[in-house]
Structures are given as C-alpha cells and as structure tokens.
C-alpha cells in the first residue's frame, strides 16, 4: 500500500511545516511530543532487544530534552527555569541509566515526568502566550 519511507518523509515534511509557522509555545509542545515519541520508541526497542534502534531513539530523546533546557528563559522566571533545568538534567541522567541497564521502567518514569510538564504547558492560555510574547519583545 504505502511505503514506510514515504510515510516517514510525509511526517518529516509535516513537522517542518508545523515548525516553520509555530510560535515559541508550539515549538516547545512539538519538542515535548518528539521526546515522548522517542522515549516510547526506545522502550519498544529495549523490549525487542534492538540495541541500535534503542541507542538512536534514546540519543534523540536526550538531544530534544537538551533543546528544552536551552529554550529556558531564566530572565523571565528564574526559579521556574532553575527547577525545570534540574528536572531536565535528571531526565537525561535517567535516560542514560535506562539505556545502560536496559530498563524500561526508568523510561516510564521519565515519560511520566515529561507528560506532567507537557500537560501543564498544554494548558497555557492564549492570553498567557500574548503576555509572554510581550515580555520577550520588551526585553529585546
């Protein structure tokens, strides 16, 4: 029917399109979703004992979480940024442990933490987004 390669190409183009038109809030949502997907893929790879895929997926999840760390803006909320940075650092450490120990329960823990953050992020209102954009532009 449809080749896996064709579907993957479509998904990549769709993601690029989303990112090209996304506001900063949406970009963070997409990053979190991407990290959750890579964690799930890594978990599946561990369960199948597919070491190469496990490595690729967990490395990508780690890179995405590092991108989330880089996107923190401590000048707007130092305490929240510091807490999130510490939590992201912990997640990266745990992903590394899960990879080494081949332990899917650790990936479940990381996914749960990330889902908690994402669910709060998903509840940000349009007025909150506008206020953040205003703060960002006045800081420039």
pLDDT tens-digit map of 105-130: 999 999 999 999 999 999 988 888 78
Estimate the crossing angle of helix 24-48 against helix 126-139, to 10 degrees: 110
User: Could you give all domains of the chain from N- to C-terminal order, each with its CATH number?
Assistant: 12-139 (1.20.120.340)
For the entire predicted model, the pTM comes to 0.82
DSSP 23-72: -HHHHHHHHHHHHHHHHHHHHHHHHHT-HHHHHHHHHHHHHHHHHHHHT-
Instruction: From 62, 63, 67, 58, select the one nearest 24 (Cα to Cα).
Output: 67
- Average pLDDT, integer, range 29-37: 97
């Amino acid at each position: 029917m449809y080749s896996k390669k064709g579907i993957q190409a479509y998904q990549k183009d769709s993601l690029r399109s989303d990112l090209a038109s996304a506001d900063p809030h949406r970009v963070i949502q997409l990053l979190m979703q991407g990290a959750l997907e890579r964690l799930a893929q890594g978990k599946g790879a561990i369960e199948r004992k597919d070491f190469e895929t496990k490595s690729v997926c967990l490395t990508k999840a780690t890179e995405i979480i590092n991108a989330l760390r880089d996107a923190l803006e401590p000048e707007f909320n130092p305490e929240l940024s510091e807490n999130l940075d510490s939590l992201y650092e912990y997640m990266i450490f745990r992903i590394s442990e899960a990879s080494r120990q081949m332990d899917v329960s650790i990936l479940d823990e990381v996914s749960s933490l990330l889902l908690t953050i994402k669910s709060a992020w998903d509840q940000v209102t349009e007025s909150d987004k506008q206020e953040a954009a205003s703060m960002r532009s006045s800081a420039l």
